[in-house]
Structure 1
Amino acid sequence: MLTANYVGDRTIDIREAEPEPPARGEVQIAVAYTGLCGTDLHILHGHMDARVRTPLVFGHEMSGIVSALGDGVSGWSVGDKVTVMPLAWDGTCPACVAGNQHICQNLDFIGIDSPGSLQGRWNVPAAALVAVPSAVPLDHAALVEPVAVAVHDVRRSELTAGQKAVVIGGGPIGTLIATVARHAGADVTLIEIDGERRAQAEGLGFTTLDPSTVDQVAWVDEWTGGAGADVVFEVSGAAAAVRGMTALAKVRGTIVVVAIHPTPREVDLQRVFWRELRLLGARVYQRDDFEAAIELIAAGVIPTDLVISRVVPLTETAAAFAELEAGRAMKILVDVQAGTR
């Protein structure tokens, strides 16, 4: 089988490897599609070099078919359509004991801390599997993980129907958050500097702002009758967005930090104090977020055809990352089995 490996120094190496049988408690998956995401770009840029062990087969947004079962596995059969919630927690740390296993203090994020899905056969703990309905195509099922991120972010914000939400950043996660928030009944405005991404969001019916040409604070102030937004989602990862996000929220409004910031950012804490703002982090997801994501995809709520820009074979993984880095695509899927079928 072919594998895509991060080997350091912004380099991806495509290698041949022999698949190993699943260990006890594991399931082997014939990976169909793997989505490339911003976290993968952080790995490629070296931002996680202190964490990852190279060579690393990475990737965690995926879909596939169960191809083998390890000893002791029940409830799954060869041929089942699945995706993976790529979190393995220890169950004993204070976070786990408090019921927050998804942010375990010793979390193994599969695809970062251990091998991921950019390989033809992938062995994962059976507990990580999530069933995919037969009616959901495998390429759409590869979006379950990022949709689960968006579901978790919106739930974390406690957004309710009728509220006004601002999403800063119109990439895949920002667009998905806007979609989930609107489905929850919110009125959503999306701030995005890239014209193509704004056009895509407008095609989905969202109001968009170009922060390079519009005074976003004045616009949000007028939109909300002088109050400010109920919830602001910071999804861009840009320092300027972090500096400005507090000015968009209402008194006792909520700001949810979604983006991964590789370095500390300047935050207007005077504004946080003055308006009694609530500043929240939102990281990964829980099992019910995955299940809700599958329901949203199956129901056609998620604009899968817009989010998926193109599909490439595994041998073109490096070129696909270059496209993402240049902002020329929303979501690129890797067809892991291309050329082997």
Structure 2
Amino acid sequence: MKSLARFLPDRFTLMLIGTVTLASLLPAQGRVAAGMETLTTAAIAALFFLHGARLSREAVLAGVGHWRLHLLVLASTFVLFPLLGLALKPLLQPLVTPTLYTGVLYLCVLPSTVQSSIALTAMARGNVPAAVCSASASTLLGVLLTPVLVNLLVVPGHHADASLDAIGRILLQLMVPFVAGHLLRPWVGGFVQRNAKMLKWVDQGSILLVVYTAFSAAVVKGLWHQLPLSALIAVAVVSALLLALALGVTNTIAKRLGFSIEDRIAIVFCGSKKSVASGVPMANVLFPASAVGPIVLPVMLYHQIQLMVCAVLAQRYARRAEPALADGAAAAAPRTA
């Protein structure tokens, strides 16, 4: 049963599915939709304020010196993934709608996650301080790089707003609250740490609000009449393929460059992740409301696949480390007797 449980969706994924279902059956319209958009903007600001308040400056400084590791993670996130998205275009275009393919490209230019990358690295006994630094740097750089890459790669006709004005709005909505939270950490950091479980609902709630608002607008425009089931299955398969390629390439390059097993674990997990927490709010700024729903679908599918696969991989890394410790202890025992 425990083995099967690893492949079941987590609670947050189930809530995402429930939110999409609710938006499909009862979409927000008119004044309700306008009110939801205002509430969503405030919730996103709160989300990034809390991220800033949680991030320890000491943790960042502890890993910032490992520049080779960080460069490899950033190259995987913002170079390898976009190249893979473009390379898969001949396979994807006959199978999915143009908007879904835009969603796949958008997935490929998103930054890495913070929480799950760090948690999985810790579970696998990897280099946690370096993972904290790499994942955090990826998130911060993504605020600037993702809109630029969207402007370069987006399929013509979808009118992604990656102008300086859009970048400015992203900085205002995401970066300013983040910096404010970090600057206020000496005063609010203790409260954030003591109430981590309660504040987790703010994190997840803000994402659910964005998803509900985005899918409501898409449903009103006829989303589910435009997306065939075969296209959704194709996106799920391509998401799994993207993850497999990212895991394989990052692990192979890290080995060739002589990184330790602890560093390779951090590289593999930070370099293969894509952030739904950053991706959904930025999509809300970069794309028209009616297009956000289908564009974030690949992000949501990839999110669940990466959690399930990487959880199993982290446990495998941890099991491989345990026999070495046990052997070392057994070898030391006769000498101390």
Is TM (by shorter chain) over 0.5? no
- Normalised by the length of structure 1, the TM-score is 0.22
Which structure carries more strand by proportion? 1
Structure with more contact order per residue of length (Cα contacts < 8 Å, sep ≥ 6): 2
- Normalised by the length of structure 2, the TM-score is 0.22
